[in-house]
Amino acid sequence: ELKNNTIILVLGASGDLAKKKTFPALFGLFRNGFLPKGVKVIGYARTKMDHAEYLKRVKSHIKTPTKEIEQQLEEFCSVATYVSGLYDQDEPFQNLEKHLQKVEEGQKETNRVFYMALPPSVFIPVSEHLKRNNYPEKGIARIIIEKPFGKDLESSRELDRALRPNWKEEETFRIDHYLGKEMVKNILILRFGNEFFGATWNRNHIDNVQITFKEPFGTEGRGGYFDEFGIIRDVMQNHLLQVLTLLAMERPISFSSEDIRDEKVRVLRGMPSIEPKNVIIGQYEKSLDGTKPGYKEDDTVPKESRCPTFASMVAYIKNERWDGVPFILKAGKALNEQKTEVRIQYKDVTSGIFKDIPRNELVLRVQPNESVYIKMNSKLPGLSMQTTVTELDLTYRRRFSDLKIPEAYESLILDALKGDHSNFVRDDELDASWRIFTPLLHYLDDNKEIMPMGYPYGSRGPAVLDDFTASYGYKFSDAAGYQWPVTSAEPNKL
Ligand code: BG6
């Protein structure tokens, strides 16, 4: 664990990720006393700016609802400094080294955490310059890296080959921030800490699993990045696959990071690559009321772009537990709502006494408004034997109303400081995940005649979506017009 004498160096400190996620998370940890004592936070990026201008950026996404927090933010700023320099030459990194040494002055051993909030194009050169010029002689070094980890199996391996001589696997922390989300971290506990879930968690009882990611906004302002990657690389190969892996893996021998990651890799290796016949893709168009632009209206997006902003696909796992169970992944930008959830649909109860009784569903709501609920059939109270769909509902806001749910980045940065790799992506895991997606990605890239289906900004996605999911066995039941009562999510006032 990194205790005293630690520098956190944020590379790409003037960028969006640093501003929106890294600094707010560092501040959250700082003010709650979770950063090492005497920590210094140093930013590095190309943009030239003075100290005041830099602090303005650092603070730009940090809220200070109380005087106390405002004061803590000032303290945080007093440990923050900034150095500007290019990414592709040694000299600026030597200059950075002088600054680091000045900050560390008088200390024998110092630890350095390198947080790479950088565009992929400068990733390799920066990691080389850091190793040559800024690697701590005494003390611990850690490098935290952010996706994209390549664009396919080959480029991901290339990146790995470039990093490997300089950074040991135990020094490397590959972030997938979904692994820091509270509900995602809960999956293993729910599964392995509850006999009633564990016992039914297989192909004998589960008909299909859906993992859904929806965002109500498009790629405005990020079109340039996005167009090169598309929704499959942006969130499915990483975030959604991670959720799938945790849902599907066998029980690890312990909660230690290597035991967990061994099991994750094992389940990924049991997955054949996704077949194009099990995939639909879409791209958003102008909203029906004309107020929101289509994807291609963004100036940074090529007019002929075939980039998917929506995709749904089905993955299978060839093992005893899951053979034949479709894992349906859905992800899209510019949809009707913000929501990430897992929906596990159980099989029909055996026929006989009931007519058309709906299936059980277990829903893990990752965001917003974390909750776990089971759709369950029950007798409608009264004199008849009529059934109704109701729910067992664990809504965090109500059940844990006094607890703050940490931001994913807070949780992960703290893990990296502690040296805990459980919630980071291991090299072989990354390789296994790209293997599952690469044939599909190449197929879509190479076959120019494949066009994504249009869908209006703000809609539920391409019109064929419901037929697509139904064709893999998902049964939508509007029995009694069931709707999860979102109002129950309000904190209990009684
Ligand atoms: C990022 C993607 O990794 O995850 C973004 O690049 C996406 O496109 C984001 O919006 C979603 O993260 P969250 O935490 O807001 O669900």
Distances (CA, A) of 391 to 98, 188, 197, 492: 61, 22, 16, 17
3-state secondary structure the chain: CCCCCEEEEEECCCCHHHHHHHHHHHHHHHHCCCCCCCCEEEEEECCCCCHHHHHHHHHCCCCCCCHHHHHHHHHHHHCEEEEECCCCCHHHHHHHHHHHHHHHCCCCCCEEEEEECCCHHHHHHHHHHHHHHHCCCCCCEEEEEECCCCCCHHHHHHHHHHHCCCCCHHHEEEECHHHHCHHHHHHHHHHHCCHHHHHHCCCCCEEEEEEEEECCCCCCCCHHHHHHHHHHHHHHHHHHHHHHHHHHCCCCCCCCHHHHHHHHHHHHHCCCCCCHHHEEEEEEECCCCCCCCCHHHCCCCCCCCCCCCEEEEEECCCCCCCCCCCEEEEEECCECCCEEEEEEEECCCCCCCCCCCCCCEEEEEEECCCEEEEEEEEECCCCCCCEEEEEEEEEHHHHCCCCCCCCHHHHHHHHHHHCCCCCCCCHHHHHHHHHHHHHHHHHHHHCCCCCCEEEECCECCCCCHHHHHHCCCCCCCCHHHCCCCHHHHCCCCC
- In the prediction, which pLDDT does 486 show? 61
Which amino acid appears at position 247 of this protein? Answer: L
- In the prediction, which pLDDT does 105 show? 83
- Asked if 205 is an active-site residue, the reply is no
- In the prediction, which pLDDT does 489 show? 47
Q: Looking at ligand 1, which residue's alpha carbon is closest to its atom 11?
A: 235
- In the prediction, which pLDDT does 4 show? 74
- 317 CB-contact burial (10 Å; exposed 0-12 / middle 13-18 / buried 19+): buried
- In the prediction, which pLDDT does 482 show? 64
Question: Does the beta carbon of 160 sit less than 6 angstroms from any atom of ligand 1?
Answer: no
- CA-222 nearest atom, ligand 1: 8
Q: Looking at ligand 1, which residue's alpha carbon is closest to its atom 13?
A: 178
User: Within the chain, which residues score under 50 in pLDDT?
Assistant: 480, 488-494
- Rounded to two decimals, the pTM is 0.95
**Pick from 446, 436, 448, 447: which is nearest to 156 by CA?**
436
- In the prediction, which pLDDT does 481 show? 57
Give the tokens for residue 236: 């499915």
User: Which residue among the candidates 129, 177, 239, 421 is catalytic per the annotation?
Assistant: 239
Q: Using CA atoms, how far apart are residues 25 and 35, in angstroms rounded to an integer?
A: 11
Q: Using CA atoms, how far apart are residues 307 and 298, in angstroms rounded to an integer?
A: 13
Distance 459 CA to ligand 1 centre (A): 19
Question: Does the beta carbon of 416 sit less than 6 angstroms from any atom of ligand 1?
Answer: no
Question: Does the beta carbon of 407 sit less than 6 angstroms from any atom of ligand 1?
Answer: no
Probe residue for ligand 1, chosen from 234, 310, 333 as the CB with the greatest number of ligand atoms within 8 Å: 234
Distances (CA, A) of 312 to 273, 280, 329, 456: 15, 5, 5, 16
Q: Using CA atoms, how far apart are residues 196 and 213, in angstroms rounded to an integer?
A: 27
Distance 233 CA to ligand 1 centre (A): 11
Distance 235 CA to ligand 1 centre (A): 7
pLDDT digits (tens, 9 = 90+) for 199-221: 999 999 999 999 999 999 999 87
- In the prediction, which pLDDT does 121 show? 87
Distance 236 CA to ligand 1 centre (A): 11
Probe residue for ligand 1, chosen from 22, 146, 149, 177 as the CB with the greatest number of ligand atoms within 8 Å: 177
Question: Does the beta carbon of 234 sit less than 6 angstroms from any atom of ligand 1?
Answer: yes
- CA-215 nearest atom, ligand 1: 10
**Cis before 148? omega within 30:** yes
Q: Looking at ligand 1, which residue's alpha carbon is closest to its atom 10?
A: 215
Distance 100 CA to ligand 1 centre (A): 32
Give the HSE-up count for residue 198: Cα atoms under 13 Å, Cβ half-sphere.
10
Q: Using CA atoms, how far apart are residues 375 and 330, in angstroms rounded to an integer?
A: 21
- In the prediction, which pLDDT does 192 show? 97
Question: Does the beta carbon of 235 sit less than 6 angstroms from any atom of ligand 1?
Answer: yes
**Pick from 218, 237, 193, 390: which is nearest to 305 by CA?**
218
Which amino acid appears at position 359 of this protein? Answer: R
Distance 215 CA to ligand 1 centre (A): 9
Query: What is the predicted ipTM?
Result: 0.97
Question: Does the beta carbon of 301 sit less than 6 angstroms from any atom of ligand 1?
Answer: no
Distance 472 CA to ligand 1 centre (A): 27
pLDDT digits (tens, 9 = 90+) for 463-472: 999 999 999 9
